[in-house]
Amino acid sequence: MSKIQAGELTADYKVRGVKKMCIDEAKTGSLDLFFVAGVIWIDPIVSEVLVRKVESNKLLVRFSAIG
């Protein structure tokens, strides 16, 4: 969590525990999003933007770095 708060993000992130999430494809810049078994696997650049937006809006979303 401290790495996320410090802005030091690793290559990949996985979002877990979200019941519903809407992603506007037009705003992703054609970056890769994969949906597998209820888990969103996000391109590293998109994940950094998503983490910042979630934190700035104080949403209760946990991120787990993988890889």
Taking only the tens place, the pLDDT of each residue in 42-65 is 666 667 777 788 888 888 777 776
pLDDT at 11: 52
* Calpha distance 14→9 (Å, rounded): 12
> What are 29-45's pLDDT values in tens digits?
665 666 666 666 766 66
Per-residue 3-state assignment (H helix, E strand, C coil) for 19-50: CCCCCCHHHCCCCCEEEECCEEEECHHHHHHH
- pLDDT, residue 10, reads 63
User: Per residue in 27-50, is it b (16+ CB within 10 Å) or e — as a string?
Assistant: ebeeeeeeeeeeebebbeebbeeb
pTM equals 0.36
Cβ contact 11:48 at 8 Å:
no
